[in-house]
């Protein structure tokens, strides 16, 4: 806090002092007239404003310091004239008059953290700084203002020996080198901006334009001053300087603006946190995050066993990025909690993603747990349905075996017995026929019993003809009349099996009526019996394994109604 106050005070003081120094320069300084003064102050203080705003956040403190230096050298350049007043001021002004472009170059290349990313950048900035400092320092070593006939000029503290010619030559060289370096920096900045991703370009473009423009103008001024050997004060120079002032103001404004925008993004995140404070339904989290990141097509996936991903409802979701999308894992405490599939520009704004992940942390963990539970539920359900189907298939196979094996043999035996009976009937020997009669009768009963057993395992007519035929056959065996109202429609095998089981169980408890209809893609079965089936739990399990429901209700008059609704989808 103290630092900030000190910077503000220093900035004001330095600015005002610079104006006064400019006023005393006798027309050599551009800030001598009111317009120039305003331009000088506004530019310098705009840069300072940017520095103050950046100074708040830790990552950008370096840039903040750089900007303070820019403002400082911008003001100090006004002491590069005879009216500087003090020797120190004049010396500083002479040495540092070209420093601000170099510092702006450093700021622009290192934005926003102030760290230079590549060796090339470091080389460029070092060269530019060196060129600009030397441009100020070297000629000053050999320049004595008093020797040029300026009696009221302050002394040059750096003076080694007066050699105006050498000073000019050094100045010329310095101007050329500095201009070249600045142009190189501008080229590097433009290249960086053009090849950046869309998001980064958005962030860096204002600085590139204002900073780059400022540097180009500086380079032009340097080149224009080559003939003279020093940067001059012609009307052209003045116009260029005013343009520089405008660009510098814009630079400061751009910095402030970028921070404002970031604050707005943060408040959106704060809004996200508030929204997340209210328990959301599954999918609500995805929506909140999508809104915050302004990416409506955002996909949010939670990892489950087996390397799969599911959404909040436990349904499988595809997290491969595909064209035009990028995927980013959300990692909290070292484990992957979720995966976001988003538009590519977001990957660059790592800060934003990290903030969103942090804000949504609790919600992500919770929803992730729920999603995994749902996915497991789903797996259990499919495995249960598979088990039931496997059981049904086994029964069908068993019935086939009984039918093709034992039953055939018994019928053949029966035929044999009847044949023998016929033959013996023509001959005397009634005991044989009597014995055969008995054998035939027993065989007949065995055939009948086996048929009933096979039907109990799995009625072949159910697979072949459907529920109506099977229930008809069943009803036929019963003593009481049963009213059967089932359409001809066929349903999936597992559904028909389950429905038949319900009817078969009810048949042991006084079945009196069966109604079956297809409604809304499900089989609705109504069975009337005189008591509740013993193995009701088995029936519920069977029906439940197919995602169906079985309800039992007592009807007036003591009858029992079983209603099964089994989806056929």
Partner 1 sequence: MRVIVADDSMLLREGLARLLTEAGINVLATVATADAALREVALSLPDVAIVDIRMPPTHTDEGIVAAQEIRRRHPEVGVLVLSQYLQSRYATRLLEEVPERVGYLLKDRVADIAVLGDALRRIADGECVLDPTIVARLVRRRAQGVAEQLTQRELEVLQLMAEGRTNGAIGRRLGLSEKTVEAHVRHIFVKLDLPVSPDDHRRVLAILALLRDGQVTP
Residues within the interface to partner 1 (CB under 8 A): 403-404, 408-409, 411-412, 414-416, 418-419, 422-423, 440, 444, 447-448, 451, 460-461, 464-465, 469, 472-473, 476, 481, 483-484
Mutual angle of helices 467-477 and 493-507, in 10-degree steps: 20
CA pair distance 346, 356, nearest whole angstrom: 11
The residue with tokens 């610079």 is 18
* The two three-digit tokens of residue 5, written as one number: 């106050």
Which residues have CB under 8 Å from 251's CB, separation 6+? 46, 47, 50, 104, 206, 207, 210, 211, 214
Name the minimum Å distance from CB 464 to partner 1.
7
The secondary element (H helix, E strand) that includes residue 388 is helix 361-402
Is 63 within 8 Å of 113 (Cβ atoms)? yes
Paired with 566 in beta bridges are 523
CA pair distance 49, 62, nearest whole angstrom: 15
Nearest to partner 1 of 281, 476 (CB atom): 476
Nearest to partner 1 of 169, 418 (CB atom): 418
Nearest to partner 1 of 201, 400 (CB atom): 400
Nearest to partner 1 of 100, 440 (CB atom): 440
DSSP character string of 49-72: HHHHHHHTSGGGHHHHHHHHHHHH
Nearest to partner 1 of 9, 412 (CB atom): 412
Nearest to partner 1 of 350, 415 (CB atom): 415
The residue with tokens 């094996």 is 405
Q: Is the dihedral of CA 412, 418, 422, 424 positive or negative?
A: positive
Name the minimum Å distance from CB 298 to partner 1.
53
Nearest to partner 1 of 293, 484 (CB atom): 484
Give whole-number Cα distances, 31 to 84, 100, 242, 257, in Å: 13, 16, 9, 27
Name the minimum Å distance from CB 347 to partner 1.
60
Nearest to partner 1 of 426, 519 (CB atom): 426
Nearest to partner 1 of 240, 443 (CB atom): 443
The residue with tokens 């036929």 is 476
Name the minimum Å distance from CB 412 to partner 1.
4
CB atoms inside a 10 Å sphere around CB 4: 13
Name the minimum Å distance from CB 469 to partner 1.
7
Which residues have CB under 8 Å from 377's CB, separation 6+? 314
CA pair distance 470, 429, nearest whole angstrom: 45
Nearest to partner 1 of 367, 496 (CB atom): 496
Nearest to partner 1 of 270, 398 (CB atom): 398
State the chain's maximal CA–CA distance in angstroms.
167
Paired with 342 in beta bridges are 326
Is 357 within 8 Å of 364 (Cβ atoms)? yes
Name the minimum Å distance from CB 471 to partner 1.
11
Is 399 within 8 Å of 457 (Cβ atoms)? yes
Nearest to partner 1 of 122, 469 (CB atom): 469
Mutual angle of helices 235-277 and 198-224, in 10-degree steps: 160
Is 344 within 8 Å of 326 (Cβ atoms)? yes
Is 508 within 8 Å of 480 (Cβ atoms)? no
CA pair distance 70, 207, nearest whole angstrom: 14
Name the minimum Å distance from CB 423 to partner 1.
6
Name the minimum Å distance from CB 402 to partner 1.
13
């Amino acid at each position: 806090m103290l630092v900030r106050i000190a910077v503000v005070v220093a900035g004001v003081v330095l600015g005002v002092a610079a104006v006064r120094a400019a006023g005393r320069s006798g027309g050599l300084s551009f800030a001598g007239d009111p317009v120039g003064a305003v331009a000088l102050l506004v530019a310098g203080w705009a840069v300072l404003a940017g520095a103050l705003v950046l100074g708040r956040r830790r990552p950008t403190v370096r840039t903040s310091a750089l900007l303070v230096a820019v403002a400082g050298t911008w003001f100090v350049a006004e002491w590069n004239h005879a009216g500087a007043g003090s020797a120190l001021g004049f010396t500083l002004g002479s040495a540092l008059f070209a420093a601000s472009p170099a510092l702006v170059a450093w700021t622009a290349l290192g934005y926003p953290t102030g760290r230079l990313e590549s060796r090339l950048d470091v080389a460029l900035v070092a060269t530019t700084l060196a060129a600009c400092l030397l441009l100020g320092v070297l000629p000053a070593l050999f320049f004595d203002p008093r020797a040029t006939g300026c009696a009221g000029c302050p002394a040059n503290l750096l003076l080694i020996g007066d050699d105006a010619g050498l000073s000019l030559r050094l100045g010329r060289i310095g101007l050329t080198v500095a201009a070249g370096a600045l142009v190189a920096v501008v080229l590097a900045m433009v290249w960086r901006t053009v090849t950046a991703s869309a998001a980064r370009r958005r962030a860096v473009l204002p600085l590139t334009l204002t900073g780059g423009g400022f540097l180009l103008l500086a380079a032009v001024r340097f080149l224009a001053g080559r003939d003279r050997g020093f940067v001059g004060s012609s009307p052209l120079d003045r116009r260029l300087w005013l343009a520089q002032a405008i660009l510098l103001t814009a630079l400061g404004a751009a910095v402030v603006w970028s921070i404002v925008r970031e604050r707005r993004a943060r408040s959106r995140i704060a809004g996200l946190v508030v929204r997340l404070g209210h328990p959301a339904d599954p999918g609500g989290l995805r929506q909140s995050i999508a809104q915050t990141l302004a990416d409506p097509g955002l996909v949010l996936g939670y990892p489950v066993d087996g390397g799969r991903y599911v959404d909040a409802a436990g349904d499988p979701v595809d997290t491969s990025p595909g064209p035009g999308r990028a995927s980013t894992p959300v990692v909290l405490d070292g484990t992957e909690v979720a995966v976001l599939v988003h538009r590519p520009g977001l990957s660059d704004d790592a800060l934003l993603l990290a903030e969103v992940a942090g804000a949504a942390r609790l919600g992500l963990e919770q929803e992730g747990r729920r999603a995994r539970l749902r996915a497991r539920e789903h797996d259990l359900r499919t495995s249960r349905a598979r088990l039931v189907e496997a059981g049904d298939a086994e029964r069908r196979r068993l019935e086939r075996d009984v039918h093709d094996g034992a039953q055939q043999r018994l019928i053949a035996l029966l035929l044999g017995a009847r044949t023998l009976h016929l033959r013996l009937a023509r001959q005397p020997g009634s005991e044989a026929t009597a014995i055969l009669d008995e054998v035939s009768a027993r065989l007949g009963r065995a055939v009948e019993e086996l048929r009933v057993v096979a039907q109990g395992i799995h009625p072949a007519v159910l697979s072949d003809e459907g529920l109506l035929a099977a229930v008809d056959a069943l009803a036929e065996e019963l003593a009481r009349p049963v009213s059967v109202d089932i359409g001809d429609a066929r349903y999936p095998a597992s559904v028909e099996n389950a429905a038949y089981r319900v009817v078969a169980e009810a048949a042991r408890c006084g079945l009196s009526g069966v109604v079956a209809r297809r409604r809304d893609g499900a089989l609705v079965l109504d069975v009337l019996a005189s008591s509740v089936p013993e193995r009701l739990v088995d029936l519920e399990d069977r029906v439940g394994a197919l995602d169906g429901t079985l309800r039992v209700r007592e009807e007036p008059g003591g009858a029992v109604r079983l209603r099964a609704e089994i989806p056929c989808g």
